[in-house]
A and B are shown apart, each in its own frame.
Chain A
Amino acid sequence: KAGVTQTPRYLIKTRGQQVTLSCSPISGHRSVSWYQQTPGQGLQFLFEYFSETQRNKGNFPGRFSGRQFSNSRSEMNVSTLELGDSALYLCASSSGTGRYFGPGTRLTVT
């Protein structure tokens, strides 16, 4: 089976812009969760989607949002980018106990 894919892998944006990141889960996995990884804060949970519904949400401002499509693919959006949003954004797809992470999207905000 193909693994979790995330696009794009690298992104440079300017403060105030918005960005959309995409995640394609492993075939058959219906849960997709998103994490932000930074050197200072480590890995932090953003949100989780299951069958197109947000089931869980972390402690991030409303500028961070996401959605899931009927084919389980997921997108996350960050509006009004801030310098502190520079991070590696990881998506994980799950089925049962297994959680499989993609390679991440490296977002740099200048």
Chain B
Amino acid sequence: SQQGEEDPQALSIQEGENATMNCSYKTSINNLQWYRQNSGRGLVHLILIRSNEREKHSGRLRVTLDTSKKSSSLLITASRAADTASYFCATDAEDSSYKLIFGSGTRLLVRP
């Protein structure tokens, strides 16, 4: 079974608006990573947040982590058409074997 599940599955917003995507997971983790995938391309690492961190920023990205709720959110502020992509969270495998388990992703469409 998948460790991380993203919500919503798809999101459509207007350019300039903020986009929020959520990730829920099942077991304790060491850290959580977010990746972006443009159509027809591989995944690109965006940001990593450790289990002892609650919030992290990188440019227009803001990630939060709530270990008590086993959830994380990715906020993209002032979205651009170029942000159109699928976004995936990835967490440690349940058996703590250091393998990453990816969720099924959120497809974000930013309309110009």
To the question of whether A and B form a pair in one complex, the answer is no
Q: State the B residues within 8 Å of A (CB).
A: none
